[in-house]
Amino acid sequence: MTRQRRADARRNVEALVEAARTVFDTSGVDAPAKEITDLAGVGVGTLYRHFPQRADLVKAVVQTGIDDLAEAGSKLSAAHPPAEALALWIDRYVELLGTKRGLASALHSGDPAFASLPGYFMERLGPPLTALLDAAAADGAIRSDVGAENLLYAIALLCRPVPGRGPDYGRRMVAVLVDGLRR
């Protein structure tokens, strides 16, 4: 495969993942493949060449969101005071958890394609959250006895849809949790 072709393939994959992120936000993870490929500007064959199963594309979208959030930690730390950087990162985490319609049920469907995601999730998000927590605790802004793993899981649980509650319910509950971290 030539270098140009590899670059084209990489661009196609990136376009498909970005298009899928957008489509999943608006139409859910069961949106027609054609909707994704039209937005990406590629054919359906290109989609299936890179992502033979729907689960492969869903996994790529999730991993990209996780990677983006992991990278945001150091950028937020460089631009904001520790407590503010932590709060902004948590807001982005809540957004990641809440924006993909049908994503949670797909990820908990038992599909073996998703088996590695919990480990990937902790491996990628644990370190930046630990750094943010440590910096905010060292600054005296938050308590120091809450670890990244516990906080990630607590926020994820609070962001699950609750029947009879509006879409902002999880965000409000996370705000209560974050207030409890403050000194």
- pLDDT tens, residue by residue, 106-157: 667 778 888 888 889 899 999 999 999 999 999 999 999 999 999 999 998 8
pTM of structure: 0.86
Residue 69's contacts (CB-CB under 8 Å, 6 or more residues apart) are 89, 92, 93, 96, 124, 125, 128
* Domain around 31: 1-52
Check whether residue 39 and residue 82 sit in a common domain: no
**pLDDT digits over 28-53, tens only?**
888 999 999 999 999 999 999 999 99
Domain stops at, among 37, 52, 67: 52
Q: Report the candidate in 125, 119, 112, 5 with the shortest Cα–Cα distance to residue 58.
A: 112
Domain stops at, among 52, 77, 92: 52
Check whether residue 46 and residue 91 sit in a common domain: no
